[in-house]
Structure 1
Amino acid sequence: MIAFDLSADAARRALSPAGVEYDPEEARERYAMAVWCQLIEPGDSVAGRVIGARGPIAGLEAVVAGADLRELSPKEAGEGRKRWLPRLSAGAVADSLATAAARGVRLVTRADPEWPTQLDDLGAHAPLCLWVRGDASALSRLHASVAIVGARAASHYGDHVARDLAAELAAGGIAVVSGGAYGIDGAAHRAALLAGGLTVALLAGGADRAYPAGHTQLIDDIARRGLVVSEVACGSAPTKWRFLQRNRLIAALSAATVVVEAGWRSGSLNTAGHAATLSRPLGAVPGQITSATSAGTHRLIREYGAQCITSADDVRELLGMDDRTDAATAPRGTYTGDPTRVKDAMSTRVWRDAGEIARRAGMASDVVEGILGLLRLDGAVESGAEGWRLAKIGG
């Protein structure tokens, strides 16, 4: 039997850096959750069954004491203890809680009113708790939300589409959820912040530090104006497994998932798979048929029934929102986006090629070509042998 102090006094001492007074039983339960976060990897359904059957305190006591875990097979119980007990350290738990307090990271559990109940759809694979940097009350405002994910090595086209979608949706009150990575994730977060909307970054490592390091300022901005969330304790490093498991949280926390750009084996397809498993609406943005960075989105549309997304209105439809915000009544500061710049560089009378339109708009030509394709799908522009022009209202 391993000695480990789960008393109310031990719990209160460990939780004291947060500066919050908990009653004895609540302190023990929070402390037990923090301990479990040190013991297990994200998505450990075996631990989830123990905690679901006994609660975090009794489950931890049974594991530490070597008691019979009747909810598990002997093999599961034995292998579980071999995974968990080598990580058991009161000092490591105290350090993570102290780091959380120093960095303004709050431990949110199912006992808290802010807990996002949509995560419970993950069943035994649901997170035990969340480490949240920012205004935790915003977790309750994610029922109208969309995950915008995609390639880290995004093209100009993918970057543009992610920014345009995120900005318009965020300005209209729809939260933008993503993973804080380079490429599509970063573009979506920045555009949502620029539009004055809510954005949430789910990290594979601890919420106390940015990953990638090059996004330190972005993650800090998100924490100030939105939420930075992780299911692993502060001080935890991101690993390949944690990235994959993080993707299930992105899909579960959001009301719908849109993949903007993804290669054939992109990790974004993993997020899309979780969304499909959870029966969450799934959308994908089409790209050029010759583009390797859009091979994954085309695959989602062709093989997995993802809805074709060409505008923010398509995303609203994916979310079941039929009412579309009129530009005249849009909130002040609404992001107009690059399509406006492109249309401003065009005429209803004069045909112009994409290079000329790009020069007039002050934009990269490949970005403009992608925008023109989307505008043509919307009927806003028309193309011909001489180039492009604005569509005439009324035909």
Structure 2
Amino acid sequence: MLLAGIAWLIESYDIGIMGNILPLLEKQYQLNSFMVGSLATVSTLGIVLAIIPAGWLADRVGRKKMLVFGTAWYAFFSLLCGMVPSIPLLIVCRLIAGLGMGAVFPIPYAMAAELTSKRIRGSMTAVLDSFLSFGYFLAPLLALLLIPQLPTQWGWRMLFYIGGLPLLYVPVLIKWMPESPRWLTIQGRGEEADQIVTQLEQRIESRTGLALPEPGSHAGQSMPTPSRASSGIFSRAYLKRTLMMCISFACILFIFYAIQTYTPTVLLKEGYGISNAFLLTTIIVLASIPGKYAAAYAIERFGRKFTLISFTLIAAASALCFGFAHNGALALLAGCVLSFFGIGVDPVIKIYGAEQYPTRMRELGIGVFEGVGRLFGGVLAPFIMAFLLTSFNVAGSYVFVAVIAVIGVCVVAWLGTETRGVVLEKASNS
């Protein structure tokens, strides 16, 4: 899980690069608004294009292979981004790099579902997701440290060169990241699966000095062969789950992008000045990290549905407060609460989605709701928020964010079932 968390951290750094170099590129190349918008969204578009076929492939060639391949892919093209001579080529390289990011994004929380106990798979996913937040914070931190020390034409390139360093992490994944034993089992590779599980058991017994208990009654039982009527994510058996996840994930991801992308813009519109706006934004984004650790506790203590619904409702209320705040202290408080709960809920919806599908199509299911969510929450959200801020001012924009959050809550409350403490095979086939 540490290996998976680091993979997410270095990927989120790569995703966070562009927001920190856009002002430099805009100044150096006198970019128009279309070019700025293209640079801001093109890697997310690559993620959307790749995430569904990558999920389908991960169900066929394995989780580990897709994680390794995707990491090598986006790191290589990130390195190329630092060498390009023109903005159009930079846009192309960012799009292609996004394809690799899309291949990597769903893998860690699918592996958390498949490699950890039913008692901790929810909290483990929340801990993993906090690595994303550290990566998003690492990008502006390195930008702050490096860009002022380098000539204008080299500062942004250096951030991309650092984004190519994950190529050195690929051999680490190849050597030490295990394949999912559940996936190996359904592929008929039971001996390999047993070898991985046996090694894990031996390490635990060596570390604790105690013999592990006998497996539970569910262990070793094979799942029934799926009928044609229940063989796909849009079949009658899984259609309700797929619709629930596509809608709720898109709604919750909209909150994330509203915070991550538009907080500085909103604060500048409210007249806080550049320095204060970026300082307040940094504090607000950092509030998401303890939010994810709070979710790690709540998801196993109170369950998936309760945590999803309560966190998202609090985020909706704080979005309203943030939109109508007219002084710095209130804006900071409301923004931190919005980030704590609105981004803190992300790992809950991710593991809840992974639990909806059986191993044979888990990555495809994740790819579909991630793809839909990132299309509406990631690619379209910046344009929607830009329109709302122009047409309805800050207050009206965050009323819309709150409404979107409530829609996500209603869908989970209506269509969702609780999966806390349930064996993964039972949760995904019930």
**Smaller-chain TM-score bracket:** under 0.3
Which has the larger share of strand? 1
Instruction: Tell me the TM-score normalized by structure 2.
Output: 0.22
Report the TM-score, using the length of structure 1 for normalisation. 0.23
The structure with more radius of gyration: 1
